[in-house]
A and B are shown apart, each in its own frame.
Chain A
């Protein structure tokens, strides 16, 4: 794709002329990879004011909570009740304020089926956007979002850095962050964020085919010199394995939970602090790793209430494992009422020496790194699977690989796929594995597992590091 700067600029409403240099450096460097998309923050003056206000409250309104609905959420729910049919019905019970635990919960299936009830009547749909998921759930759902809600990711990331003693706020544009991934195919772009005074951001794919020369990756990163390197542990593993030497000031890890040992190892390898973020497309960031107990997450935004419930939607005792549910948030198209994330964990409501008043969440058995292998013994990133599946009417899926490297994909579809479509799907999937893999595709009425992928192959990526 031939890159046109003005295509990027028109997606940054508050763009200023001096930011052009950042864009040129990131986008038109001789070492730059191939770009395939345009993207901007879409932040207008009005949305900037919203994000600024959010940031102010993020620091000022931190509060301890336990299993009871905190008072500040009552106003939020009362305001939504006359605006959303879902809230109106769910909050019909006379005693919901005192007995919040009786209020019905919602899950990913409701987002698929009941979006029309949930989106407030009076919310204009003009600014609706959809940020693609990387497929960490087996139940793909189009999540309507708003630029101002996505804009809040920036102050949330800054806050997490701040809690780790990292103060970064630039007055003159440079490179804020580069997000790395390693997969067959994904969106790549470069842009600038108004919130960071025009600092640049690029999303790159470490996959060989995106670069003119292998050595370009290291040169590009060194030249761009991003303050933050974001990605998931698999992309960090690929980064190190490809012999890239550039060290960012901060490593921002997302998508899965990491053990203390894994975090320490990453910090050693990158010689930078590692901050882990627990985040879902539907909710936005939920937690950031506590600097003192890095395998736990402090609740990150001040505008969400986190509950741990059992399978019958009853509160579990503090410290007991259960399903993680979220109320609140700032996405105008997706107000959340006891939304079931599909992950499990437990809460620690005791005060923390790091000083953050928000309680801590421990993820349990959730979001472990799953990696497949082809017959040559090369790692295959499962995130390429949902990218292929999204062209099919699939409600839920689950893919496994056993120790013989045989794969099985279970799918629940809106209607039967038919032979021709099944065959194409089969070919696309096996080509991910260099065509030589035993794959069975099963169409099922119901899929039990909430994890999208399972593998009998241990991915001990830290043990595998080439260093």
Chain B
């Protein structure tokens, strides 16, 4: 499995994928088609509701991302090789995809190299697959670096660093901190 061969698929993503609104494309239909082509069960009515803009609070950005995800899952390797349906479902219903769609414009996952690598890696990692030539550690590390939500979280954390610095300073000065724990030797 190579992500390198998965990435170009995204280049051919039809522009209407990115420009659609609820009238022209039914995301739930796209997701269902994909599940069927991979041999999985279709969504229940309850599950479908999530991808129906009229009946949900989810933003159009989320639906765009889900449409793109369905498209990428149509990559022939996935169809030829049996992939785990439970993992597939978990990926499709992954809750932080909504967060991701708010963080990153769907078109970026097509146009931007890093984002393209990110979404491909996200799919692979969720299906327990690694790009050729990598092992679990390397794949996880690369994902960690590319992960937009992770980056956003780290930026927030570094913005909070002043606050954290104050907490640490206070902890270092607390009376309890001055009370060492007993050790039988010293440096």
> Which A residues are within 8 Å of any B CB, using their own CB?
11, 38-43, 71, 74-75, 78, 81-82, 85, 88, 91-92, 94, 96-97, 115-117, 119, 121, 125, 128-134, 136, 142, 144-145, 147, 150-151, 153-154, 157, 176-177, 179, 181, 187, 189, 191, 193, 201, 228, 230, 252, 254-255, 277, 279-281
Contacts and interface: CB of A to CB of B under 8 A. Distances in A.
A121 B159 CA distance: 12
B141 A78 contact: yes
Interface string B151-174: 001100110010011011001101
A75 B157 CA distance: 22
Interface residues of B, number: 32
B182 interface: yes
B92 to A, nearest CB: 24
A116 B164 contact: yes
A271 to B, nearest CB: 21
Nearest to B171: A125
A201 B184 contact: yes
Nearest to B178: A130
Closest 4 CB pairs of A and B: A116-B165, A125-B171, A150-B181, A131-B180
For the complex, would chain A's binding face be called helix, strand, loop or mixed by DSSP majority? mixed
A200 to B, nearest CB: 10
Interface stretch (B18-26, B63-71, B78-86, B142-150): B142-150
B164 A129 contact: no
B186 A125 contact: no
Nearest to A126: B171
A199 B140 CA distance: 45
B137 interface: yes
A97 B141 contact: yes
Given A43-B181, A91-B141, 4 more contacts: A40-B181, A94-B142, A116-B161, A145-B181
9 contacts: A116-B165, A129-B177, A131-B180, A133-B187, A142-B172, A144-B168, A147-B181, A193-B182, A279-B185
Nearest to A74: B137
A153 B142 contact: no
A392 B187 CA distance: 22
